[in-house]
Structures are given as structure tokens and as C-alpha cells.
Chains A and B, each alone.
Chain A
Amino acid sequence: MNGAEAIVQTLVHHGVDTVFGYPGGTIMPVYDALLDSPIEHLLCRHEQGAGFSAIGYARSSHRTGVCIATSGPGATNLITALADAMMDSVPIVAITGQVPTNAIGTDAFQEIDILGLSMACTKHSFLVTEPDMLCQTLHQAFTLANSGRPGPVLVDIPKDIQQAPASWHPPLDLVTNGFTPDKAAYENLHKAQELMLSASRPIAYIGGGVNMAHATDELRHFLQVTGLPSVCTLKGLGTVNPDNEGYLGMLGMHGNRAANTAVQGCDLLIVVGARFDDRVTGKLDTFAPDAKVIHIDIDPAEVHKRRAANVVFHQPMQWVMKELSSALPVNEWLCHCQRLKAEHQWQYDKPGEDIYAPHLLNQLSRKLPDNAIISCDVGQHQMWVAQHMAFHHTRNHLTSGGLGTMGFGLPAAIGAAIARPGDTVTLVSGDGSFMMNVQELNTIRRRQLPIKIILLDNQKLGMVRQWQELFYEGRYSETDLSDNPDFITLANAFGIGGRTITHRDEVTSALDEMLSVNGPWLLHIRIDAMENVWPLVPPGASNHEMLEKRS
């Protein structure tokens, strides 16, 4: 057995069934070993696509995503995806080839110090310099990627290490996952219960950490027993069942007015797996100004970082949620929140014949089964998806939350389609984002993945254009995309069929047609270039200062 074969054996040991990657000189021994392994390799058309596909695979399935690239440009092309995984806490193991050990530091062909480059965008990164350390390092990488707050780990492996004789062994260190609450944990529980009982306007502010902690069921039970109203972050969407009577939707910059109003008026925030992100809080010192805070998060660095908490839990979220699940006297407050929710329901009665993207997305959402996966890119359409589509589980909503990476959606949808072949996968993209990783259409063709693509085309970089309109006196700088290609011809070139629609009365039949096609399909939708995302908390403003659409 050589090092490359030991790498593949280690992947098999960790239950990896699919890896995403792109071959090259210094990773060739691994690609040779993959030929004889049960692991499927999906050839993406850019290493960034491989990285995002691994993220889509991981996020949609709760497994570890694995991506592989060669040294130099292959490795640097992974960086954006690693940064995305770091910001959104996604467990990824990235394996990169490196020039032979004795060539490191000589500016060899396709040499780059990826260990150095990856420090800011991984939980940890390793350079394997001894064949004997190869297996244990990879085992460590899988453990680290999934432990505590999940994240990406990179393992850089010189070519000579891949070719050297090696022996495979299982992990050498036993990992214990047992949890026994101590006295301090119970004291904190008591303090939290006192805060919850004394609050008259408590609300749960829920983030993506709940799904990461496998605590969705416990969180839903907690909301049901306590009767608390709740709001979600972008990454938390799907944690609360959309039919929950106290659920007010997404909060923050493009959140629902009911959600922001309730949070601004609350007297207790129970923060579960969230981090007071700036897109959530708006002007921080006016965010929920009267609220005490119970903060439940596994990462100590997120507590007291942007908002001091009165009670803190780093214990397993499942345990905390279960222990805090007691009925609360919040009926009056819950009714108030429900009135807010009714008062601020989304309206879809925009006059005119043009296609109103929020309404279209809402129609699409109603047509899709509860287990359908939506992958989206970044920009206006991303916020419309968050606002107007319903999610029954966080794993069904793939969105680049922290890093906000245009080009995320298409490869992430590919990863999801591989991870969950029985579920419908729909990509919602914009004409700006779509072009950023458009080469991955060929990855769809390669596997004949039945991904449905909704392309909302306003011939603009819509979100930037919106900000130029609102905050830069209408000075539109480099946001015009009227020279877009013919997207249907483009899709056809990759063997993907499609249709363009421009009028509202075409929407229903076009959505039905798309969902009835067996293979991939592109629905190209022309929308108003000047449509904006509303409501909006302007930068630097408080969340109660939301702007609504101008008449």
C-alpha cells in the first residue's frame, strides 16, 4: 500500500461515498488510487466548484464533504469555498496535492504555500511531511471538521508522501462524546429559568447552529412546550416549522417587519445557535434594547462577542433545550406577535403584467414537496428566497450566509443532488451569480443530474444596483449586465433544455413544465430591472427603522 491508497482507505473508513475534485500533477497518485476504490469521484470543472459542491453535499446531508485539488492554482481555487465553509460552519475535509517534500520552498512548478494561505479560512490545516503521519492526520482532520463548531480542515500532502510505502490504521485516539452536566450547568439552568419566568416579552432568536448541533427536534419541542414566539436567521430558516403559530420569519436587514418589531420590543432574547451577526442586528447598540440575553452556543468565542449575555450555555444544545422546556405564561405576548404577523403578511398583488419574483418564488414553494432542496446564490434573489419560500428543514435551504459568495448556488445544488438523489433540487440564481460558476453546467451534464434552475434575470447586479439607487444617489457604476449571453442557448450547449418567460400569465405553466421534466431544466425568467428587495434596514440604522417600498 502506498500513501495515496492509505488516503483512499481512510476516506472509506470515514464513510465517504463521494468526493468532488479536479486532478493535476501533484495529486495524481490519489487519482490513481481512486480508480480502484468504491468512492465515486465527481469531476467538477473548477476547483471552486468542487469546494462548493462538497459544501452542498455536507449541508444537505449532515455528512462531511470532501474535495480534492492539486497544488498551486488547484489549491488556491479552493480558498473561496473553504472561506465560505468557515463562515457558515460546514464540515469539509479538503485534500490538496503538494510538490515533493524536497521541492517545498524552492518555488517549484505549481508550488504555493497553501498551509499559510489557508490559515484564515480553515479551522486547521496540516502539511503531512512523514508517511507514518498520513492516516492519523486524516483521521484528525475528520474529527476536527465535525467537533465543536464544525468547519473546514485542509490536509496538504506532498506527492512523494502519496507515493511512499504506507500502512493504514484506524484512529489512534479514542474520542469520547459523553456529557455529564456539572453543578455550574444546573446553576445556569436555574438562572435561565428565572429569567424566562420573569420575562413578559420573551422571544427565541434561532440560528444555523441548531441544525449543526442536531437539535432541531429538541428546539421544536422547546417552542411547542414554552409557547415562545420565534424568529430565524438566514441560516436558521427551516429550523422552525413554517406552520408554527408563533414563528415570525426571518429577522434582520431584509427580515419580516413582524420579526424585527417583535425582537426590538422583547424583554428577553433566547439566542440559540446564532451570533448577533451584523446583518441580523443592524445598529448593534439599539438592537433589542430592553432585552436580557440567554445565549446558547457551542463556540465560546461567539458569546459576549457582539452582545453581552446574562446567562450562557456551551453545553450540548439538545440537553439545554430539553432542560428549558417548561410552559411559560406568554399567551398575551404570543397573541401580540401573532397580530404583528397577520398585519405584516407578504403581499403579492403588485399591479402590472411583468413577472414579480417574490410571487413566483412563493408559487414555486407551494408546488414543491416539503423535502425539496433549494440552493440559491447571492443577491436580491437570495433574499426573496428567504422571504417568500417555506422551508421544513435547514438541510433543505442552501445559501451562502456568512461569506455571501456569488457563484455558490450552482455547484452547491450539484452536491445536494449527489447527496440526496431522491429529492428535488432547485437552484434559484440571478444573472450575475449564475455566470460566476457557469462552467458547472457541464458537471450537471456529466452526471445527468435532474437539477431545476430558476434564473431570475434583471440584466443587473441587482443588489448592488439597489444600493446605488438608494444610497449612492442613483449613480449606477458597473451594475449593468445587459450584455448577458442568451441563457437558453448557453444551457442547450451543455445539453440542458429550457424556456424563457417574460409575462406573469406564463408563470404557472412554466413552473409546471419545469417540474415535470425528468432531467435538468433552465427556466429563464425576465424580471423588472428596477425591482428592489423590501423591506430594508439601511446600513447603520436600527432594525425598527425599516424602509418599505416607495409608492
Chain B
Amino acid sequence: MSFQLHMQCHKQPDVVERILRVIRHRGFTLNSMSMAPSNCGEKIELSMSVSSLRPAHLLTTQVEKLHDVVALRCLDTASNHAAISY
């Protein structure tokens, strides 16, 4: 299964590293990623495509716990419907 993750994060130097670590450790593969500043440079918007045999919520609940992740939305790539959203 492939999922699209859209996140808003505090602009901290380590936030992307933390998210990527969780994706790897929880058994998901990163396929693509893009990043852009938002909120006058105080936040960043991250979009990622990830895939795994595991259900999306096993990743999203872990990513959501990261201190600098403000909001997360998860879409099923095939249907473009919300798989998990917060």
C-alpha cells in the first residue's frame, strides 16, 4: 500500500531527520518527498509518499507524537481518500 503524508512542522533543524527515522523504523519506505517553508518561515510543509505492507495508522500515530509535528494528513494514494487524518 502506498500513502501520501502531508505534514506541517515547526521549523527545527532536526524535524525532518526525526520524521524520516520514524518512517524507516516503523517499517515504511520513503518513495518521494518535497518540502517548502510556510507561516513566514516559522513552519515547514512536508509532503511524502511512503509505502508498506503495514497499515498507515501504525506510522501516522507515531509521527503525530513527534514534538515538532503540528498537523498531519494521510491520503491513500490509490483512491486519494483520507486514510487517516488529524
Contact = CB atoms under 8 A, between A and B. Distances in A.
Interface of A: 115-116, 119-120, 123-125, 127, 144, 299-301, 303-305
Determine the main DSSP class of B at the interface with A.
helix
B62 interface: yes
B62 A119 contact: no
Contact of B21 (A120, A127, A300, A301): A120
Nearest to A300: B61
Interface of B: 14, 17-18, 21, 25, 57-58, 61-62, 64-67
Given A120-B25, A305-B58, A300 B64 contact: yes
A119 B21 contact: yes
B65 A301 contact: yes
Given A116-B14, A299-B65, A300-B61, 9 more contacts: A115-B14, A119-B18, A120-B25, A123-B65, A123-B67, A144-B67, A300-B65, A301-B64, A304-B57
B66 to A, nearest CB: 8
Of A125, A144, A299, A301, the most chain B CB neighbours within 10 A belong to A301
25 contacts: A115-B14, A116-B14, A119-B14, A119-B17, A119-B18, A119-B21, A120-B21, A120-B25, A123-B65, A124-B66, A124-B67, A125-B14, A127-B14, A144-B67, A299-B65, A300-B61, A300-B64, A300-B65, A301-B62, A301-B64, A301-B65, A303-B61, A304-B57, A305-B58, A305-B61
A116 B79 CA distance: 36
Contacts of A125: 14
Nearest to B18: A119
A123 B17 CA distance: 14
A299 B64 CA distance: 11
Nearest to A303: B61
A125 B67 CA distance: 9
A299 B61 CA distance: 9
A119 B23 CA distance: 13
Contacts of B62: 301
A96 to B, nearest CB: 15
A115 B12 CA distance: 12
A304 B61 CA distance: 10
A480 B67 CA distance: 45
Contacts of A120: 21, 25
Contacts of A304: 57
Contacts of A305: 58, 61
A144 B68 CA distance: 12
Contacts of A123: 65, 67
Contact of B17 (A116, A301, A303): A116
Nearest to A149: B65
A148 B61 CA distance: 14
Nearest to A304: B57
Minimum-distance CB pairs A-B, first 4: A301-B61, A124-B67, A300-B61, A301-B62
A115 B68 CA distance: 14
Contacts of A124: 66-67
B25 to A, nearest CB: 7
Contacts of A119: 14, 17-18, 21
A180 B13 CA distance: 36
Nearest to A144: B67
Nearest to A301: B61
Contacts of B25: 120
Contacts of B21: 119-120
B43 to A, nearest CB: 17
